[in-house]
Structure 1
Amino acid sequence: MTRFVLWDIGLTLIDARGFGSRRYGRALADATGLTGTLAEVAFRKLESFELHHHIDFEIGGFGAASMHRRDLIPDSVAKTEDRHGKPISPDSVVVVGDTPHDFAGTRCASAAVAVGVATGSSREDDVHTAGAHAVLPTLADTDAMLAALS
């Protein structure tokens, strides 16, 4: 199944380097960012770790669209639908984040998979309670991440 992946830009993405390069071997059509900050700020954050080329910034959900993260998932999905000229099935949406705020919109957006990563200040229990279907300690374990996306 083709997946549409929304990454929380605030994650400790240096751990994602291995996943970022391997995920393109899978059938992921689009991967973008989800953050309360501006797209330009998110780009600079990722650029400093040379991870910016893994994210499609044109279809992301960024703070300029809304001050509420719950609004950013539908915004990003709508941009992707416009790009492809067809609707995205809710069961193809994946949200990866590290705070309860990242999962505020997963239920209303009917995201198929919400993966929490305990790299931020939130505890694993907090992220799980907020709506993450799976919680990983870091993004360093590529196989665990791919399993969580399945």
Structure 2
Amino acid sequence: MVKLVLWDIDHTLMATRGLGGELWGEAFEQVTGVAMRQQAPVTGSTERVILRETARLHDVPYSDGLFTRFADALGALHVRRAAELRERGHALPGAAAVLAALDERGIRQSVVTGNVRQAAEVKLSVFGLDTYLRMDEGAYAQDGETRPELLREALARSGTTATEAVFLGDTPADVAGGREAGIRVVGVATGRTTAADLGVAGAEVVLSGLSDVGHALGAICE
């Protein structure tokens, strides 16, 4: 029986419509003093890895201290521009309804995301999605570099075993991370990866989206 549902955020529950990249570049320049010319690949990665690789592209020395300053700067920028995020971004169709339906069933929910925690909290709160999520039981960029690390941290924080959890994400990295952590993965083809490719990556079930609430609940709770 499913006791815990873990959600990826970007392109699974919501989209920022380009604002996320703008804030990222601004935070990078704030903490390094270097204007960002190129960002390392972000799909399926975590902020810590993205920052390290982006710093390398700009010949900027990376350290844990740099990541801490970057995380603080990025979180503060999300807080400052939350109203703009609400205007430009949006929750994906069906996201709130599926979260609410799972909550009504008494199933605990949290997030496993490559975002830094403060940014994740702002993104979810501006669209009212945080109401259904136990944020303290999730895992964020501050908690590790890889999806398996983050998933295991969320399981530990929630006191849940891998066999009692389900993870929903939109990238092959999400699928691979869930499989490595022993968690059943439901792919959601609302990002840059097709449903077919999520299936090839190993997702046990793939949804085209969350707008069919009954279908989504069936896939999650089977």
- Per the normalisation by structure 1, the TM-score is 0.87
Whether 2:97 is the aligned partner of 1:18: answer: yes
The equivalent residue for 2:113 is 35
Per residue, is there more strand in 1 or in 2?
Answer: 1
Give the alignment partner of residue 117 of structure 1, picking from 188, 210, 217. 188
SS of residue matched to 1:106: helix
Where does structure 1 differ by over 2 angstroms across 4 or more consecutive aligned residues?
12-15
Q: CA offsets, 1:69-112, max 9 Å, x none?
A: 1211101101111xxxxxx332211001111111222222211x
Q: Is the contact between residue 188 and residue 206 of structure 2 (CA under 8 Å) also seen in structure 1? A: yes
Are residues 1:104 and 2:183 paired? no
1:28-53 per-residue CA deviation (whole Å, 9 max, x = no partner) reads 1x210011111111111111211111
Amino acid at match of 2:166: V
Q: Which has the higher helix share?
A: 2
1:147 is aligned to 2:218? yes
* Counterparts of 1:25 and 1:40, CA distance in 2: 26
Deviation of 1:2 after TM superposition, in Å, equals 4.2
Aligned-pair identity (%): 32
Describe how 1:63-82 pairs up with structure 2 within 5 A: 63-81=141-159
Once superposed, what is the RMSD of the aligned Cα atoms? 1.4
Cα deviations across residues 12-63 of structure 1 (Å, max 9, x unaligned)?
44221111111122241x2100111111111111112111111111111211
Q: 1:51, 1:147 → 2: CA distance? A: 20
| Structure 1 contact 2–27 (Cα < 8 Å) conserved | no
Unaligned runs of 5+ in 2: 15-90
Decide whether the 8 Å contact of 1:17 with 1:51 is kept in 2: yes
Contact (CA 8 Å) 2:147, 2:178: kept in 1 or not? no
User: Which one has a bigger Cα radius of gyration?
Assistant: 2
Structure 1 contact 70–103 (Cα < 8 Å) conserved: no
Give structure 1 stretches of 5+ with no counterpart: 82-87
C-alpha distance in 2 between matches for 1:12 and 1:74: 21
For 1:109 and 1:12, locate their aligned partners in 2 and report how far apart those are by CA, in whole Å.
21
Conservation of the 8 A alpha-carbon contact between 2:198 and 2:206: yes
TM-score relative to the length of structure 2: 0.60
